Structures are given as structure tokens and as C-alpha cells.
Amino acid sequence: MQYLSRRVPILIAFLLAAVAAGALSGCSRNAGKRVKVVVWGVQLSEETRIEAACIREFERRNPGIKISMLSMGAGSMNPQKLMTAIVGRTPPDLIYQDRFTIGDWASRDTFRPLNDLIERDRGKPYGVRREDYYDACWREANYRGKTYAIPAGTESSADVGRTARMRREAHRLQQGRYVQAGGVHPELR
């Protein structure tokens, strides 16, 4: 887990650099103007001091770029606001999105594949390399062979319970004791 927490600042730097490169490419007509990169879904708070420090350092190293962080209220992201922004052609430049939802968004052709950016920066110190991530997390960030997100974390969980009782209840369920005329048994509602 410590390895992962060390990678988050690097990941943020990579993503900001990739977005900034896209924002600055072909923008010679905007020479001298400061580019604003809008990021949705990262809630800056006492718990996210590292992210805030990364953003300040990125802006210090890239004085022509201003990062605008917007939280989306309860939770990290509001899908309705995001879809409205996409349809209205005013989406954020970068979002912090649950990797579990990436396939759904990518299937709607709403996210940009990152393969070309990943390949371009693979050899750089901040480059993203698939082998640095857990396979399951990386696969969740992919859709139809293309990478639409970079995993920023993972979790582990286990069901803890009274095994004997769980077996007994499963056996009762298999025997149909919870199904009754008119629907599901009240204990399962």
C-alpha cells in the first residue's frame, strides 16, 4: 500500500502533464496566456494534503498552467453533472472517476482513450507502465482493448461472518424455504 501511495503523486503529475500537453499543443495563438486545466472529482481536504501539494508544485514548475479543482458534492463525482457537461460540450479536462464505471462511460464514447499518451510517455520518469499496477485494477480501466483511465488505488475486503450460520442459511435458501406464495419471505426483504 505504501508503494501505491508513492505512485499517486506521480500519477497526478502524469495526468496533469498529459492534459496540459493537449491543452498547449497547437496553441501558439495563445502564447503568453495562462492555460486553465479543469479537474473534477478530487475533494481537497485535510486528508488530501499530498494531492494539494502536487498541484501547487505542478503549477510552480509550469507557470503557464493553472489547475482548477472542483469537487462534485457528496462523493467524488456526480454522473448527471458529468454527462450534462459532456453533452453541452463543456466537459472537464480531467476527472477522478471510479475505475468500476470506466467501461460504462467508454461504451458511450464519452471518454478519450489514453493509449497514445501512455505509449508516448512510457520511458519518462512520470510515465505510466501497465506492469506497475495490479492486473485486475488495470483491466477495470480498459474497455475493448483501450485504456481509458489510470488506476489510482485499490482496496481489499473480506466477508466476515459466522460460517456455520451462513452455511445453514444458504442450505435453507437452496431448499426454497425463503420463497413463499406471493413473493419473497419477509426475512429477506
Question: What topology is assigned to 2-147 in CATH?
Answer: D-Maltodextrin-Binding Protein; domain 2 (3.40.190)
Q: CA separation (Å) from 53 to 8, 105, 153, 168, 170?
A: 12, 30, 18, 52, 50
Per-residue model confidence as pLDDT tens digits over 77-129: 678 888 999 999 999 998 888 888 899 999 999 999 999 999 999 999 889 99
All three cell numbers of 173, joined, read 435458501
Strand partners, 68: 38
The list of the chain residues with pLDDT below 70 reads 1-32, 72-77, 157-162, 171-189
Q: Any idea what DSSP says for residue 145?
A: T
Residue type, 13: A
Classify 114 as helix, strand or coil.
coil
pLDDT of amino acid 26 = 44
State how far Cα 40 lies from the chain centre: 10
Task: Quote the CA–CA distance of 175 and 181 in Å, as a whole number.
Answer: 15
Task: Quote the CA–CA distance of 29 and 77 in Å, as a whole number.
Answer: 33
Exposed, middle or buried, 135 (CB in 10 Å: 0-12/13-18/19+)? exposed
pLDDT of amino acid 115 = 96
pLDDT of amino acid 173 = 67
Residue spans of the domains in the chain: they are 2-147, 159-189
Q: Any idea what DSSP says for residue 28?
A: G
Q: CA separation (Å) from 37 to 24, 63, 129, 158?
A: 10, 12, 24, 39
Task: Quote the CA–CA distance of 139 and 151 in Å, as a whole number.
Answer: 9
pLDDT of amino acid 165 = 72
Has this prediction a pTM greater than 0.95?
no
